[in-house]
Chains A and B, each alone.
Chain A
Amino acid sequence: MTNLTIRGGHVIDPANGRNEIADLYVVDGKISADPPPDDSPVISAENLVVTPGLIDMHVHFREPGQTHKETLATGAQAAAAGGFTSVVCMPNTSPPTDGPSGVAWIVDRARDTARVNVFPTGAITRELAGQEMAPIGSMVQAGIVAITDDGHCVQNHELMRRAVEYARMFDLAVLDHCQDYNMVGNGVMHEGYWSTVLGLPGWPRAGEEIMVMRNILLAELCATRIHCQHLSSAGSVRLLRNARGRGIPVTGELCPHHIALTDESICSFDSSFKMNPPLRTQEDIDALIEGVADGTITILASDHAPHAGFEKEVEFDQAPFGIIGLETELALFLTILLHREKAISLEQLIAMYTVNPAYLLRIRKGTLGVGADADITLIDPDREWTYKKEESLSRSRNTPFEGWNLKGRAVRTIVTGETVWAL
């Protein structure tokens, strides 16, 4: 098994309260208090930050069923290139991951083909149809770390309540894509000035906020963790802040595009700017950043959603929602939250990618504690670079960030002591 010394880096390990220059030891693929034998390899981490391997708890890897967009192997490569050692896959595969055999298939396939840890989630409802509860307990036994109908949203509050109650039996988090279908209708962009100008159907903030409120009420009623995915609106932040202040077990997630871009981008009718929930306004961006700064939003993720070029290159209202994000998210958050807005410290940012998602999902990751799997990310937080989508390791290229100048990126990604990607 792998032995390794990472020498002289700035170790930031929020799970253990560490923030110091230190050597980090790996023995047999685990973090060790004692150095490995003298002939073990050494990696110099001078001027680099050494963190627990980052976790992206919101990705779509499209396998099984839509492997022309992404596979577990290519998605994992993109993850590694973004500094991620663990990803949490959404169940809207084809067929949907709504039963134990589907979960087992992904676990096996990922073990054989993916170079990072892949944690599957299971559907809340069969076929993601929002009608009947999926076999949640059997999927837990097969290896899911959460349930979600992501991409869809259970509209029936009573069914959602039962699913949340049931999940509690397994200490399982429920992840929700917050969207009221009647409110949103055929909306394709933020409802506001630009949707009015462009004549595109609007997706109002209230369509998200109503479901955030629903989830707050159910998290309180059932005393179960509900996680609101990819929050986009100022109102959602206000609701979440109030609920968390009252001790309700509800959490929120932020994707970089929701603070990097506004709905004005869509005046080009470029479907690279089409995602769900949609890009909103500067007012929302300010509120989301404030929500990160004051601890209302505790988890960062990409919502990596690959689509083939020919699928995206159609009329705006017919294009699928979503963008790829694994290789840009860390850099965008470092650039915006750390360097530009100075909203949070580097330690806080790393916590939002490590201990926070690990704790929510109850997975034994996101820590450099002795005995933990040696999943490690080396980050140069000041490195300036330009993103070029042609260099992406994802199978898809649907990104609005082509040519962006960014500050900070991962330079090496290590899984159980093995380097799976290095710049």
Chain B
Amino acid sequence: MNTAEPTLDAKENWVRKDLLSIRELAASEINTILDSAGAFKTVGARDIKKVPALRGKTLVNFFVEPSTRTRTSFELAAFRLSADVVNISASSSSLQKGESLKDTALNLEALHTDIIVLRHSAAGASKFLAERLAASVINAGDGAHEHPTQALLDVFTIRERLGRIAGLKVAIVGDILFSRVARSNLWALKKLGADVFLVGPSTLVPRSFESMGVSVVRSLDDILGELDVINLLRIQHERQRKEYFPSLNEYVRFFGLTKERAERLKPHCLIMHPGPINRGVEIDSDLADGPQSVILDQVANGLAVRMAVLYLCSTAARKQR
């Protein structure tokens, strides 16, 4: 078994026990994670896909909101780092019985949990836990606030494919208002020097985003030809409480990445999607499987990025104790 820890240098630059948001990170911290993830990615290509970095550590995947791919990705990342993993979902947790988030967290701490990966419907929930626990808290999505590891795997994928982030033109298309993926992505991309365009119906992409240093664009067709990356967010029309646009049909007419629109993309322009995809809505089905699509790279890289995050935060937490 190759027991080399691939990130000895990187961890010296990382002091946070928690990963709560991209907004609070410096560009250098983001790069530390990306570099570390690059090293961890090689672990996945080995015959024996496991390093002992977190041996003896206990990780709780605490998912108060449903998720398959993020939870599985964190679980596999923890396995590859030799941590012991427990999964708690909303239906199996005491939150269903009216126990508060604080009490559930204190109970997990009493069991000497080292890392808590939290998915929660409330913005700020992971910060709430992190302020109260000595354990590392990793935000796996808090309401519409942030989903930092998704943004990290997205910029990792872009950097891997295009060699850089600075100066790239990146569009994020769709339901921005309710999207934690969009918020984390725009901070990560801005901090690393990309030009960010938010595209979607005015009801879902309010002008207030412009104060965050990005451009709000109403016409996808106006910018298609300039883009280096187009990141399509899932439209959850069926689950929306209110109507933000009249119909999926009309959404596709203005904002769907159709074959006609894709023809106008630069040949190197990456097509991304955080999943799960609505084929034929935000993206044409063939394009999702086409040569410009890096959707499955994103999934693969998510594992490496999460290994890096778990490793860095856990190491910092150990030092702080």
Contacts and interface: CB of A to CB of B under 8 A. Distances in A.
Contact of B23 (A195, A197, A200): A197
Interface in A338-371: none
Contacts of B120: 315
B100 A314 contact: yes
Contacts of B123: 198-200, 269, 316-317
A198 B212 CA distance: 12
Contact of A269 (B124, B144, B183): B124
Contact of B143 (A191, A193, A197, A200): A200
Interface in B81-121: 100-102, 120
Contacts of A195: 208
A84 B100 CA distance: 36
B206 A316 contact: no
Interface in B105-159: 120, 122-125, 127-128, 142-146
A310 B211 CA distance: 35
A196 B212 contact: yes
Contacts of B102: 313-314
A193 B209 CA distance: 7
Interface string A196-214: 1111100000000000000
B234 interface: no
Interface centre among A192, A313, A315 (most CB of B within 10 A): A315
A2 interface: no
A198 B145 contact: yes
A318 interface: yes
Contact of A196 (B124, B125, B128, B208): B208
A315 B211 contact: no
A199 B146 contact: yes
B212 A318 contact: no
Interface centre among A200, A269, A313, A317 (most CB of B within 10 A): A269
A193 B208 contact: yes
Contacts of B143: 199-200, 317
Nearest to A186: B241
A199 B144 contact: yes
A280 B144 CA distance: 20
Interface in A292-315: 310, 313-315
B273 interface: no
A343 to B, nearest CB: 29
B145 A315 contact: no
Given A192-B208, A193-B211, A198 B124 contact: yes
Contacts of A197: 23, 183, 212
A191 B125 CA distance: 20
Nearest to A314: B100
A319 to B, nearest CB: 10
Given A314-B100, A315-B122, A318-B122, A200 B145 contact: yes
A314 B144 contact: no
Nearest to B129: A315
B180 interface: yes
Interface in B177-200: 178, 180, 183
Contacts of B144: 199-200
Interface string A174-206: 000000000001000001110111111000000
Chain B interface size, as a band, is 20 to 34
B98 to A, nearest CB: 11
A316 B102 CA distance: 12
Contact of A315 (B124, B183, B242): B124
A314 B101 contact: yes
Nearest to A318: B122
Contact of B122 (A191, A192, A317): A317
Contact of B127 (A193, A269, A310, A314): A269
A199 B208 contact: no
Contacts of B142: 199
Contacts of A316: 122-124, 128
Interface string A102-126: 0000000000000000000000000
Interface in B209-252: 209, 211-212, 242
Contacts of A185: 242
Contacts of A318: 122
Contacts of B180: 199
Contacts of A198: 123-124, 145
Contacts of B209: 196
Nearest to B132: A313
Contacts of A310: 100
A279 to B, nearest CB: 16
A185 B178 CA distance: 14
Given A269-B128, A314-B101, A315-B125, A199 B206 contact: no
A409 to B, nearest CB: 32
Interface in A315-331: 315-318
B94 to A, nearest CB: 14
Contacts of A315: 101, 120, 122, 124-125, 128
A249 to B, nearest CB: 37
B100 A199 contact: no
A257 B179 CA distance: 31
A200 B123 CA distance: 6
A196 B122 contact: no
Contacts of B23: 197
Contacts of A313: 100, 102
A212 B142 CA distance: 35
11 contacts: A193-B208, A193-B211, A196-B208, A197-B23, A197-B183, A197-B212, A199-B123, A199-B144, A314-B102, A315-B125, A316-B123
Given A193-B212, A199-B144, 17 more contacts: A192-B208, A193-B208, A195-B208, A196-B206, A196-B208, A197-B212, A198-B123, A199-B142, A199-B146, A200-B124, A269-B123, A269-B124, A269-B127, A314-B128, A315-B101, A315-B124, A315-B125
In the A-B complex, the 8 residue pairs with the smallest Cβ-Cβ separation, listed nearest first, are A269-B124, A199-B144, A315-B122, A199-B145, A196-B208, A199-B123, A316-B124, A193-B211
